[in-house]
Amino acid sequence: MTRILFSGGQVYDGTTAPAAPGDVVVEDGRVVEVGTDLDGDEVVDCTGGFVSPGFFDCHVHVTLDAPSVMQIIETPFSLQFYAAAANLAATLATGVTTVRDAGGADLGIRTAVERGLVAGPRMQLSIIMLSQTGGHGDDWGVCGGDVPFFVPHPGRPSGVVDGPDEVRRRVREIIRAGADVIKVATTGGVLSPHDDPRHAHFRDDEIAVMVAEATAAGISVMAHAQGAEGIKAAVRNGVRSIEHGIFLDDEAIDLMLERDAWLVPTLHAPRAVIRAAEAGLPLPAAVVAKAHDVSLAHADSVRRAHEAGVRIAMGTDCGVGPHGTNLEELGLMVDAGLSPLAALHATTGSAAELLGVRRDRGTLEPGARADLVVVDGDPGDVSGLRERVRSVHLDGRRVDDRMPPRDVRPAAPDE
């Protein structure tokens, strides 16, 4: 077998240990040696940069592109699948080699990636987000009609449910559809104009049923949770990760520590909404106002959670913002108080542990899958990472040199 040597730069191994000069040897798709003065049959020159495990994004929506109601209405149903192919390619080209789709992608999209029909990162799926009637995933409009972000189809059932019996059946349907994780909205959100991010959604018995059914299937639950009461309800009932966590209070942080729950901050998301509105995307005024309202509280919650020791994994909500901008999240995490090393760990080893793939990837150690990224510059600086990515490798094979430019995105219908 060919030995591929990544040599001449620093090695960041995906743990909390700082990077150091060294080499990585890959053979048959796996890391076989990490050290100094190693040899290989082929050499990838890392001089002036560092080699890292491929990055993770634990919260994306690959079928979305900064949606507005009018864009959704004017977009043909099947375009989402072609958009997903472009979005997956843009994500992989930026160095993200594993994603967890937080709603929208179905089993066919993941299968297309696995079979090599489209280029993209490895995927975990939630299929659709569970929402109570009138909740963050209920797309009913005051006109009396529905304009769903995710139109139900045979591979993606509706997520609107009420009561433990409906919840149980729908979770089973979502698992049948191929879900690797169950997603629930335990609070309102920003992009849904008629609910409040601070309000708790679903009652304890409903959330407990979701967790029980997921646990029986060997998977976990992730919760869109922005207000403190909805966060606490989720964690109290066994949810594994809190997505967003905008209005964390001290009790919620203590409960997350007690129950060993993760925080996936998605600091990128509200800022992307604000930028989209400033660029002219026709978003409801209530949505834009909420995006402004949550931004300061969001960073403060992440800072306090990190200082308390809550485990953090990187996620962006890309799809709300442009795909391929995923690595901006690391700079935002640093602005919120994480060190550059902690931010890198959040998007490698910590994220791999959250997704349950820590034994397969997320670190550079013998036996790990050789999903790697080579980045120019020093790992102590996470600013401008997107522009610094030199090469991306899956199973040791370079993949970014055969893909479209990183800023590729589908055109909106009126462009």
Residue type, 127: I
Residue type, 47: T
Decide: residue 385, CB within 10 A, 0-12 exposed, 13-18 middle, 19+ buried: buried
Decide: residue 173, CB within 10 A, 0-12 exposed, 13-18 middle, 19+ buried: middle
pLDDT at 412: 40
pLDDT at 72: 81
pLDDT at 402: 59
Nearest of 94, 34, 13, 14 to residue 321 by alpha carbon: 94
- Provide the strand spans (E) within 111-194: 122-125, 129-130, 181-185
- Residue pLDDT, tens place only, 296-336: 899 999 999 999 999 999 999 999 999 999 999 999 999 99
- Residue pLDDT, tens place only, 215-239: 999 999 999 999 999 999 999 999 9
Residue 403: pLDDT band (50, 70, 90) is: low
Q: What is the mean pLDDT of the chain?
A: 92
Q: How many angstroms separate the Cα of 280 from the Cα of each of 268, 277, 316, 384, 412?
A: 19, 5, 22, 25, 13
pLDDT at 288: 80
Q: 30-35 and 20-27 as β-strands: parallel, antiparallel, unpaired?
A: antiparallel
- Residue pLDDT, tens place only, 18-73: 999 999 999 999 999 999 999 999 999 999 999 999 999 999 999 998 766 677 88
Residues 184, 207: contact at Cβ < 8 Å? yes
As a whole number of angstroms, the distance between CA 259 and CA 346 comes to 19
Residue 413: pLDDT band (50, 70, 90) is: very low
pLDDT at 184: 98
pLDDT at 410: 39
Residue percentage of the chain with pLDDT more than 70? 95
The domains found in the chain, sorted by start residue, are: 3-53+363-402 (2.30.40.10), 57-354 (3.20.20.140)
Q: How many other β-carbons are positioned within 10 Å of the β-carbon of residue 153? A: 11
- Residue pLDDT, tens place only, 350-370: 999 999 999 999 999 999 999
Phi and psi dihedrals of 108, rounded to 5? Answer: -65, -40
Percent of the chain that is helix, strand, coil (3-state, to 5): 35, 25, 45
